[in-house]
Structure 1
Amino acid sequence: MTNRPAVLLLASLVVLSTPACQQKPAENEVTQSADEPSKGVDRSHKGEAMPDSPLFNGDENEATLAEAKGKPLLVNLWASWCAPCVKELPTLDALSRKPGAPKVIAVSEDAGNRTSVEAFLESHKITDLEAWRDPKMSLSSALHVQVMPTTVYYDASGKELWRYVGDLDWTGEEAAKLLSEAGAPAKG
């Protein structure tokens, strides 16, 4: 006879210890398939153009990522309910201040308004990231993102070089090596 409370507790601990957050799927969306990467670099979308999904930019105007073309662009999809996303944000903030770094845009996938996103970032001392919003999750849908955080690196012409699924220290060695692929600084 199994100890039902112990089994439930063990299952809960396994779910809570996963390294990346599963995106909350829309009603008609499928969850992550077995061929999706669980964490790490994914180059299967290399060369794809950035989507023209409608977003709200840092000034709260309707925008698309194309507005940011012209230099390498690192686009991070995150949510306040995702612990690995929150853990990663300070390293993206630090990277955004680094001379010669790619432009860094943090796209909130939360349904909240601008004020709530700004308050969340301020409460976590995130001061320099260019914060965009995607309350309808149109960007994550267009990119087929199932795990957050996911960060997509575009070259200056708006073509995807790679994406990183899961959290990463964007001030560390692994990030420096990846960012050097589009001419961003190797380490600082």
Structure 2
Amino acid sequence: MSLRLSLTLVLSACLVGACSREDPAEPQAEAQGAALTGTIDRSRAGDLLPAVALAHPDGKELNTGALTGQPVLLNLWATWCAPCVEEMPLLDALAGQYEGKMRVIVASQDLQGAEKVVPFFAKAKYAHLEPWLDRETDLSTALGGDGVLPTTVLYDASGQEVARVVGGYDWQSPEAKALVDEAIGS
């Protein structure tokens, strides 16, 4: 892909209220009140959950390809991405509401990895989310993404994609809960 086309895609993505995956020098100042403008996209329904190794700051690894047996909501995010930061508490609450029925995985795309993510999690005190790291952005590539954050993909228990959302989303909305209920078979 040419540099000009890449830059056009990144700028276009930022204009629609999401973030590119390149780390800016400073976090986005407008994190509070960022627009949650993402919409549900079912165009890739049936795609399989890719097998990518994520790292935890404590040294554990998670192979996403082994996450079958229960639905998975997989979120790609970064500490500097305003819509990502806005939806994290909503994802944490969703993970608590569906605990034991669905696993919520948040995979940071921060290039500095644990250096940025661990303090972010310590400050936020999430009760149901773990700080998984994808420093090489392998998961974004495997999902066929264009680097727009946040990107969240819902998989059913067999590892098949149900739907995805590109951009920030209200994971406490009735529409979101209906989507999750569909994936878990409620």
The TM tier, using the shorter chain, reads: 0.7 to 0.9
TM-score in terms of structure 1 length: 0.75
Query: Per the alignment, in what secondary structure is the counterpart of residue 118 of structure 1?
Result: helix
Between 55-64 and 132-141, report the one with greater CA deviation: 55-64
Q: CA 1:78 to 1:172, structure 2 compared with 1: closer, same or farther past 3 Å? A: same
Instruction: Please name the residue that 1:20 is paired with.
Output: 18
Using the TM superposition, give the Cα deviation of residue 19 of structure 1 relative to its aligned residue in structure 2, in angstroms: 1.6
Query: What is the one-letter code of the residue matched to 1:119?
Result: P
Query: What is the one-letter code of the residue matched to 1:170?
Result: W
Taking the TM superposition and a 5 Å limit, the aligned residue runs for 1:1-188 are 18-24=16-22, 39-57=38-56, 59-99=58-98, 101-146=101-146, 147-183=148-184
d(CA) in 1 for partners of 2:62, 2:77: 18
Using the TM superposition, give the Cα deviation of residue 86 of structure 1 relative to its aligned residue in structure 2, in angstroms: 0.2
d(CA) in 2 for partners of 1:99, 1:44: 25
Runs of 4+ aligned structure 1 residues displaced above 6 Å come to 14-17
> Is residue 60–residue 114 contact of structure 1 (8 Å, CA) maintained in 2?
no
d(CA) in 2 for partners of 1:17, 1:124: 27
d(CA) in 2 for partners of 1:58, 1:48: 29
Query: What is the one-letter code of the residue matched to 2:70?
Result: K
Query: What is the one-letter code of the residue matched to 1:114?
Result: A
Q: Which has the larger radius of gyration?
A: 1
TM-score in terms of structure 2 length: 0.76
CA RMSD of aligned residues (A): 2.5
Using the TM superposition, give the Cα deviation of residue 83 of structure 1 relative to its aligned residue in structure 2, in angstroms: 0.3
Query: Per the alignment, in what secondary structure is the counterpart of residue 132 of structure 2?
Result: strand
Query: Per the alignment, in what secondary structure is the counterpart of residue 91 of structure 1?
Result: helix
Using the TM superposition, give the Cα deviation of residue 15 of structure 1 relative to its aligned residue in structure 2, in angstroms: 9.0
Using the TM superposition, give the Cα deviation of residue 17 of structure 1 relative to its aligned residue in structure 2, in angstroms: 6.6
Query: Per the alignment, in what secondary structure is the counterpart of residue 164 of structure 1?
Result: strand
Q: CA 1:68 to 1:170, structure 2 compared with 1: closer, same or farther past 3 Å? A: same
Percentage of matched positions with identical amino acids: 41
Instruction: Please name the residue that 2:7 is paired with.
Output: none
Q: CA 1:152 to 1:91, structure 2 compared with 1: closer, same or farther past 3 Å? A: same
> Is residue 150–residue 164 contact of structure 1 (8 Å, CA) maintained in 2?
yes
d(CA) in 1 for partners of 2:129, 2:155: 17
Q: CA 1:115 to 1:68, structure 2 compared with 1: closer, same or farther past 3 Å? A: farther
> Is residue 90–residue 126 contact of structure 1 (8 Å, CA) maintained in 2?
yes
d(CA) in 2 for partners of 1:178, 1:58: 31
Q: Any stretches of 5+ residues in structure 2 without a counterpart?
A: 1-11, 24-36
